[in-house]
């Protein structure tokens, strides 16, 4: 800050140069003239009292020092006059000297009082000058501030405002602000909180401060009604007491529009990015994005996608008021967009460039809409400004997003337009990813469905039920499978688990299923079927291990099942009054060792027996206590109903209650229950149902698949 010059003293009677004041010279001359006159006249003269006239005469104009000199000279001459008039020391002489002395004192006091008054006047003048200069500097400083500054009293009347405040309030001058009534200028704006709710006058920090309440800084959004200009303002308040003790509030209002909009846009894009990446259902995602855009970016947001035959497919509409959302849906239902329209979303979907309409006029609506009722409803919406931007990747337009300003009164600008296009580009990428995922899922589900039987065939005398549960997210095609194949003399059951996921697992599953089906046409012994599957797997260019269990449900009496296991979890037999029993023995893994052998086990069955086949996704299911395991599975099977549907339902519930996390494996379960002996039903089976496989061996067969040992019997 530059140094200020010393205050200037107004001209006064003082004589700073040191030269004799002409008033002093004149007064002394007068005094000596009177003395000469008095001496010349003689003792009868009565001029002594006139010596006080000179000091009294100059007391009003000369300095106190000059008055004192003249007064002292007058008193001295009055005393001396007693000698040249020959009455020195007389009473008359003393009285006359006293009169002159009193007049001299009075003149001196008068001069001093006048001098003090003059000095006080000079000081006051200096203070007034400094005050004016300070006021001008303060006005200059506050006027140069970018922040608006206002001062108001407890009633809200503004007693001070700078130029920035006048501009902010839309006033032509500061004087207009000062002359306005409380709240008179605020009606020019729509003022809301960050969440879009209106701001009441008593909520402003200055009002709260003067009401004795907490006055934290407040962020508000100001939208000018006539121009749609939008600003974010941060208001801070401080209390002030004037000279009379009146409480005032000083408000400093900072325009933080640029920083706030950048923050909101970054926050919006971050949230939109999270949403777009979180879901692969693009319709739900776009609906969420539309809701996210309201009210920070727009009052209305709609998303349209290209439909069949060029139609405009409406997928999302958002507004803060549910009643207005219903109105918007009703408008779209009653007045669907014309796919051939040269404007609007239809044109954008056909490849037109993004559209910004800063101000939607009534003339625009009238030109675009011919139906009176539709025009009335559009006017009821109260559109103020609009943007329509394409969701475009390369030359392909995947959709269009429409943003409309209405209730807020804001006008979209170029920054809003660029931001909307950035958002649409991100949405387009998400839509494309979702579409690709949907197509991939459809292919995967179709492929998975082809790897499992659409429905289980009817097995005479048996009730059957199957359950398949895919594994962790992202593994669209699992490696677990099950199948029941009609063969001569019964039905062949095969349950297995191939390595890997996805297309490779699907191809391997198909190979195993079709190899097993083909092998069973020539020799339906389970061990032989597994041997053929093993040979086909070892012929693959890469190592392709598979676990499988193959069982033949033999027709005739007594009922029995012959099974072979290739490195797979052993099936469980559930029989009334007995704990679940594991059937068979673990054999070699398929597709690993050349010349493998798979021993067959014959299991006699009774009516009411239930056999459960499952993959390791059941026992390997993770939980708080480790893997689900064989013991928990056996306990769940023992407690479950004996019918296949009830048994698998109970197991599903037990696994769901135990399993934690998402890193689970696929699982397949197949349950069969012997309802009755199948001898009578066997007679009615057609050749197609039974297939052309070799006749099943009797229980007392003497050879296994290696031609050396008898099959074991489980009793």
Bridge partners of 255? Answer: 233
3-state secondary structure of 602: strand
3-state secondary structure of 178: helix
Smallest CA-to-CA distance from 677 within 486, 492, 461, 487 is with: 461
**Structure token digits, residue 279:** 């879901």
Backbone φ, ψ for residue 314 (5° rounding): -85, 120
- The pLDDT assigned to 443 comes to 67
State the burial class of residue 581 (Cβ atoms within 10 Å of its Cβ: 0-12, 13-18, 19+).
middle
* Residue 180 C-alpha from the chain's centroid: 39
* 688-to-461, 681, 684, 697 alpha-carbon distances in Å: 18, 15, 11, 20
**What is the torsion angle, in degrees rounded to the nearest 10, for the CA atoms of residue 314, residue 320, residue 325 and residue 327?**
-140
3-state secondary structure of 635: helix
- The pLDDT assigned to 632 comes to 95
Q: What is the pLDDT of residues 514-566, one digit of tens each?
A: 999 999 999 999 999 999 999 999 999 888 899 999 999 988 778 999 999 99
CA distance 48 to 369: 114
Q: What is the pLDDT of residues 553-600, one digit of tens each?
A: 988 778 999 999 999 999 999 999 899 999 999 899 999 988 888 999
**Structure token digits, residue 315:** 């997928």
CA distance 199 to 191: 6
Write the DSSP symbol of residue 369: -
Beta carbons within 8 Å of 5's beta carbon, 6+ residues apart: none
CA distance 379 to 360: 11
Contact of 106 with 63, CB cutoff 8 Å: no
Q: Report long-range pairs for 540-545 (Cβ below 8 Å, ≥24 apart).
A: 540/508, 540/511, 540/591, 543/591, 543/592, 544/498, 544/499, 544/508, 544/591, 545/499, 545/589, 545/590, 545/591, 545/592
Contact of 480 with 468, CB cutoff 8 Å: yes
Beta carbons within 8 Å of 679's beta carbon, 6+ residues apart: 555, 556, 557
State the burial class of residue 249 (Cβ atoms within 10 Å of its Cβ: 0-12, 13-18, 19+).
buried
Mean pLDDT in the chain? 82
Beta carbons within 8 Å of 307's beta carbon, 6+ residues apart: 313
CA distance 621 to 667: 9
Contact of 235 with 217, CB cutoff 8 Å: yes
3-state secondary structure of 368: helix
CA distance 352 to 359: 20
Residue ranges in the chain whose pLDDT is less than 70? 1-20, 31, 40, 42-46, 134-146, 441-451, 471-478, 502, 662-664, 677-715
Q: Report long-range pairs for 580-589 (Cβ below 8 Å, ≥24 apart).
A: 580/612, 580/634, 580/637, 580/638, 581/714, 583/611, 583/714, 584/549, 584/714, 585/712, 587/530, 588/534, 589/545, 589/546, 589/547
Contact of 63 with 14, CB cutoff 8 Å: yes
- The pLDDT assigned to 143 comes to 64
SS3 string, 213-260, reads CCCCCEEEEEEECCCCCEEEEEEEEEEEECCCCCEEEEEEEEECHHHH
Smallest CA-to-CA distance from 206 within 148, 147, 152 is with: 152
pTM above 0.85, yes or no: no
Question: Which residue's entry shows tokens 């902010």?
Answer: 168
Q: What is the b/e burial string over 149-182, where b = at least 16 CB atoms within 10 angstroms of the residue's CB?
A: bbbbbeebebebbbbbbbebbbbeebeebeebee
Write out the DSSP string of 381-448: HT--EEEEEEEEETTEEEEEEEEEE-TT-----HHHHHHHHHHHHHHHHHHHHHHHHHHHHHHHHHHH
Contact of 223 with 229, CB cutoff 8 Å: yes
Q: What is the pLDDT of residues 74-105, one digit of tens each?
A: 788 778 777 777 777 777 778 778 877 887 88
Contact of 512 with 496, CB cutoff 8 Å: yes
Of all residues in the chain, the percent with pLDDT exceeding 90 is 34
Write the DSSP symbol of residue 659: B
CA R_g for the chain: 54
CA distance 66 to 14: 10
**What is the torsion angle, in degrees rounded to the nearest 10, for the CA atoms of residue 653, residue 656, residue 657 and residue 661?**
180
3-state secondary structure of 169: coil
Q: Report long-range pairs for 329-336 (Cβ below 8 Å, ≥24 apart).
A: 330/377, 331/374, 331/377, 331/378, 331/381, 334/374, 335/371, 335/374, 336/312
**Structure token digits, residue 175:** 């004087």
Residue 710 gets the label, from left (phi > 0), alpha (psi -120 to 50) or beta, of beta
CA distance from start to end of the chain:
109
3-state secondary structure of 472: coil
3-state helix, strand, coil in the chain (%, to 5): 45, 20, 35
Write out the DSSP string of 663-708: ----EEEEEEEE-S--HHHHTT--HHHH-SPPPPPPTT----TTSS
CA distance 346 to 669: 51
- The pLDDT assigned to 705 comes to 36
**Structure token digits, residue 412:** 């979209």
Contact of 196 with 296, CB cutoff 8 Å: no
């Amino acid at each position: 800050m530059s140094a200020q010059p010393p205050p200037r003293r107004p001209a006064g009677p003082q004589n700073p140069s040191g030269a004799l004041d002409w008033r002093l010279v004149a007064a002394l001359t007068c005094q000596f003239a009177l003395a000469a006159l008095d001496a010349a006249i003689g003792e009868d003269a009565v001029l002594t009292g006139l010596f006080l006239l000179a000091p009294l005469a100059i007391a009003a104009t000369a300095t106190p020092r000059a008055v004192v000199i003249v007064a002292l000279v007058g008193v001295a001459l009055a005393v001396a006059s007693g000698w040249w008039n020959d009455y020195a020391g007389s009473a008359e002489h003393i009285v006359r000297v006293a009169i002159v002395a009193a007049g001299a004192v009075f003149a001196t006091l008068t001069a001093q009082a006048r001098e003090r008054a003059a000095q006080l006047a000079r000081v006051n003048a200096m203070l007034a000058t400094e005050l004016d200069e300070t006021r001008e500097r303060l006005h200059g400083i506050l006027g140069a501030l970018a922040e608006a500054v206002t001062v108001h009293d407890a009633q809200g009347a503004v007693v001070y405002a700078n130029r920035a405040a006048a501009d902010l309030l839309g006033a032509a001058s500061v004087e207009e602000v000062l002359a306005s009534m409380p709240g008179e200028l605020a009606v020019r704006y729509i003022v809301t909180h960050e969440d879009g709710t209106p701001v009441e006058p008593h909520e402003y920090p200055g009002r709260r401060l003067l009401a004795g309440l907490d006055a934290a800084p407040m962020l508000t959004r100001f939208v000018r009604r006539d121009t749609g200009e939008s600003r974010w303002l941060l208001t801070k308040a401080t209390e002030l007491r004037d000279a009379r003790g009146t409480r005032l509030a000083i408000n400093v209002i900072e325009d933080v529009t640029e920083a706030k909009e950048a923050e909101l846009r970054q926050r919006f894009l971050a949230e939109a990015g999270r949403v777009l990446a979180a879901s692969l259902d693009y319709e739900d995602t776009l609906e969420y994005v539309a809701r996210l855009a309201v009210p920070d970016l727009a009052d209305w947001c709609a998303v349209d996608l290209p439909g069949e035959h060029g139609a405009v497919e409406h997928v999302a509409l958002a507004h803060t008021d549910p009643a207005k959302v219903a109105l918007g849906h009703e408008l779209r239902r009653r007045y669907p967009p014309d796919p051939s329209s040269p404007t609007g979303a239809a044109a954008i979907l056909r490849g037109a460039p993004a559209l910004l309409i800063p101000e939607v006029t009534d003339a625009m609506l009238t030109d675009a809409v011919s139906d009176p009722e539709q025009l009335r409803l559009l006017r009821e919406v109260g559109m103020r400004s609009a943007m329509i931007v394409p969701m475009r990747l390369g030359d392909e337009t995947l959709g269009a997003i429409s943003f409309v300003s209405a209730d807020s009164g804001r006008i979209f600008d170029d920054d809003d337009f660029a931001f909307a296009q950035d958002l649409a580009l991100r949405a387009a990428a998400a839509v494309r990813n979702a579409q690709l995922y949907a197509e991939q899922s459809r292919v995967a589900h179709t492929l998975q469905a082809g790897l499992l039987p659409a429905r289980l065939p009817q097995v005479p005398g048996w009730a059957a039920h199957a359950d398949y549960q895919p594994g962790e997210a992202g593994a669209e095609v699992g490696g677990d499978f099950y199948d029941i194949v009609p063969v001569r003399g019964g039905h062949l059951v095969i349950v297995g688990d191939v390595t890997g996921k996805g297309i490779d697992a699907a191809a391997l599953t198909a190979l195993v299923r079709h190899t097993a089906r083909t092998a069973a046409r020539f020799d339906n012994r389970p061990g032989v079927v597994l041997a053929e599957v093993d040979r086909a797997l070892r012929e693959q260019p890469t190592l392709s291990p598979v676990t499988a269990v193959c069982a033949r449900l033999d027709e005739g009496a007594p009922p029995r099942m012959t099974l072979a296991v290739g490195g797979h979890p052993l099936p469980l037999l559930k029989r009334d009054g007995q704990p679940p029993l594991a059937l068979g023995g673990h054999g070699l893994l398929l597709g690993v060792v050349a010349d493998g052998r798979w021993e067959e086990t014959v299991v006699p069955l009774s009516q009411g027996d239930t056999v459960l086949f499952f993959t390791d996704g059941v026992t390997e299911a993770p939980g708080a206590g480790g893997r689900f395991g064989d013991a928990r599975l056996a306990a769940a099977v023992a407690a479950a109903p004996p019918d296949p549907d009830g048994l698998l339902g109970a197991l599903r519930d037990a696994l769901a209650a135990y399993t934690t996390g998402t890193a689970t494996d696929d699982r397949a379960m197949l349950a069969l229950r012997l309802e009755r002996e199948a001898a009578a039903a066997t007679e009615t089976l057609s050749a197609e149902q039974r297939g052309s496989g070799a006749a099943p061996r009797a229980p007392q067969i003497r050879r296994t698949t290696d031609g050396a040992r008898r099959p074991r019997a489980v009793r």
